[in-house]
Structures are given as C-alpha cells and as structure tokens.
Amino acid sequence: MAGALDRSDAVVALESTIITHGMPYPKNLDTALTVQAAVRDSGATPATMAIMGGKLKAGLSDSEIEGLARQGQMVSKCSRRDIPFLIENGSNGATTVAATMIIAEMAGIWVFATGGIGGVHRGAESSMDISADLQELAKTSVVVVCAGPKSILDIGLTLEYLETHGVPVVGYQTNELPAFFAPNSGFGVDYRLDSAAEIASVLKTRRSLGLVGGMVIANPIPEEFALDQTLMEQVIEQTIREADEQWITGKDLTPFLLKRAEELTDGESLEANIQLMLNNAKLGAEIAKALTA
Ligand code: PSU
Ligand code: MN
C-alpha cells in the first residue's frame, strides 16, 4: 500500500464494518477478498481500512482480513467518535463509512467503494437516529461509491440532510437514485455523470476550488441481481418492527436490520449485497485510475 501511494497509483479504500457487521462468516471473508481482487483486476490497489492493535491501518493483509472476518461482531464497530478510544486501548476496530473516510483522507486516498452508506433512519423524527456517515460526508473530502441508501433508511430525509450539508449525490449512468437492492427509488439524483473520467474531472475541479467535503456516487445494482421491491419493503417493515420491539438502538441497529433482512430473504439480500459491492469496487477502481490520468 505505501508503495502504491508513493507512486501515486490508483488506490481504492474499502471499509471493514461491512466485513465484521455487514455479512456473516465465511461469506464476509470471501467477499472481502473477492472485492480486493476485483479492484486489482481493474488496475488499482485496494486498501481495506481498520484499526489493528491500536493503530490506524490503510491496507490490510489477507490474514488480517481473515481475523476480522472470523471475529465478526466481536470486533468493535468504529465510527469517528470511537477512534481515539480504540487507539488508547490498543484494540482492533472495524471502520464504518465515516471512520474509513477519515483514514482514507489521512492517507491521501480520494476514492472509497462500499455497499451502502448510513443515513437518516425511518422514524428519525422521534429517534433522531442519523448516521455519523452523513456528517462525515459533509466535511471529509473522499468520494464514496455506493449503491445508494438502503431502504431500511428514510431515503427522502437522507437526501434532505445531504443537501443541507452540501454533499452532492451523483447518479452513475442514471437520473434516478438507486436504492441499494433495487436500481430505482423514485427519487432523482442531483447530477448524472456517465463515465469515471467525468467524475474524476468534477473531483479535481472541486478540489482546485478548495471546497472540502465528500461526494456520493450512486451506482445502481446490476438489473440481474436486483431484488423484488414489494417483497423487500415487507421484509424491511418487519425488521424495523422487530428492532422496535426489542429496543435495538444506536450502533446496533444497522447490523440488526441487515442480519434480519438476510434471514428473512433466505440469503437473497446477502447475495445482492455481494454483487453490488463488487460492482462498486470496479467503478471505484475506474475513478481512481481516472484521477491519476
Ligand atoms: N449499510 C450497508 N451495509 C453496511 C453498513 C451500512 O448496506 O455494512 C455499515 C457501514 O459500515 C456504515 C454503517 O458506515 O453500517 C452505518 O452504521 P450506522 O447506521 O450505525 O451509522
Ligand atoms: Mn445510528
């Protein structure tokens, strides 16, 4: 990794919470390694971020990834607020979108690919559950390639929040915001861009103006892997109801909703998640390459 940065090669940041809290073992391990390979096959260098033994790491070895994958939710889920505490304790931490963006920015990496970002949860009018990922997008200059906000969230409120904080939501080859498991959400994007070169160009312009902050590149799940929207809506309503009944809140909520969705769809949501992640990793690599051109 250090070598790649020295040569100012194309580097794509990847997160580790998706490994520990987003998918079960051993699919999480297999996916993490396949995603890294996809970045390499596309001509860029992958850098999976985490805190290992109290140190920020940009780029993990396969055996470090395996360790995190096996420990799963035993590893601390690490967002911005958690970073100094895990360092003080010499612990391991799996970085969320927010924490991954922070490490990426420190390491000089502009592009980060993941599955889905955190957002404004449904019912946030009373719970005030808004992911720290959104605040990070407001202030940290890393572009996040994702498949759009997951429909466990309130997509409309998530867009309002991003707009307030000046975070552009770009549709990759689409005018409509994708909704993670589905290529369509009924919401529009702020801008549509059709190539990695155009995205890189906008990023360079923004940086040259000294405008800080992230950007969301929403890349629709390939049609053949999309899930039925009516079915997913029922599944999501049930998972949210269960979380309510069991008083699941704070950092535990998103992992709970993901796990229940996977169980209720007999693993179909997991399969879709893997495919969209791969799709995003490839686009991330193309953008990273275009930035070095
Ligand atoms: N959405 C997914 N898969 C994930 C996550 C979100 O589809 O694994 C993870 C990411 O690491 C994201 C975090 O940063 O959940 C958001 O958690 P919270 O809602 O607690 O901020
Ligand atoms: Mn939350």
Computed over every residue of the chain, the mean pLDDT equals 96
Q: Of the listed 15, 136, 262, 286, which one is catalytic?
A: 15
| Ligand 1 contact, 82 CB (< 6 A) | no
93 lines ligand 1 (CB under 6 A): no
- Checking if the pLDDT of 259 tops 60, the result is yes
Going by pLDDT thresholds of 50, 70 and 90, the confidence category of residue 7 is low
Asked whether the beta carbons of 149 and 133 are under 8 A apart, the reply is: no
161: Cα separation from own chain's centroid: 17
| C-beta contacts of 255-258 below 8 A and 24+ residues apart | 255/21, 255/22, 255/73, 255/77, 257/152, 258/21, 258/22, 258/152
What is the average per-residue pLDDT within 149-171?
Answer: 96
For the cut 60, the answer to whether the pLDDT of residue 143 exceeds it is: yes
Atom number in ligand 1 closest to CA 250: 20
Instruction: Please report which confidence band the pLDDT of residue 272 belongs to, taking 50, 70 and 90 as the band edges.
Output: very high
User: pLDDT band at residue 80, thresholds of 50, 70 and 90?
Assistant: very high
Instruction: Give the DSSP H or E segment for 183.
Output: none
Q: Active-site residue 150, yes or no?
A: yes
Q: Examine the pLDDT at 115 and tell me if it is beyond 60.
A: yes
Calculate how far, in angstroms, residue 137's C-alpha sits from the geometric centre of ligand 2. 15
Pairing of β 111-113 and β 93-95: unpaired
Tell me what the mean pLDDT of segment 253-280 comes to: 96
Q: How far are the Cα atoms of 22, 144, 180, 260 from residue 71, in angstroms, in the given order?
A: 13, 26, 26, 19
CB of 116 closer than 6 angstroms to any ligand 1 atom? yes
What does the pLDDT look like over 225-257, one tens digit per residue?
A: 999 989 999 999 999 999 999 999 999 999 999
For residue 4, is pLDDT > 80? no
The pLDDT assigned to 199 comes to: 98
The share of the chain scoring above pLDDT 70, in percent, equals 97
Chain segment 145-156, per-residue pLDDT in tens: 999 998 899 999
pLDDT digits (tens, 9 = 90+) for 124-141: 999 999 999 999 999 999
| Count of C-beta atoms within a 10 Å radius of residue 108 | 10
Task: Count Cα atoms within 13 angstroms, Cβ side, for 251.
Answer: 18
pLDDT at position 150 is 86
What pLDDT was estimated at residue 2? Answer: 52
Tens-digit pLDDT profile for residues 192-225:
999 999 999 999 999 999 999 999 999 999 999 9
pTM, entire model:
0.97
**Residue 6 pLDDT greater than 90, yes or no:** no
165 CA to centre of ligand 2 in angstroms: 18
**Ligand 2 is an ion; residues with CB less than 5 A from it:** 129
Q: Point out the ligand 1 atom lying closest to the alpha carbon of residue 254.
A: 19
Across residues 75-87, what is the average pLDDT? 98
| 255, burial (CB in 10 Å: exposed 0-12, middle 13-18, buried 19+) | middle
Task: In whole angstroms, give the CA distance from residue 5 to residue 186.
Answer: 40
Q: Is 55 a catalytic residue?
A: no
Kindly name the residue from 57, 150, 251, 282 that is annotated as catalytic. Answer: 150
Residue 3 has pLDDT above 60, yes or no: no
Q: What is the pLDDT of residues 95-108, one digit of tens each?
A: 999 999 999 999 99
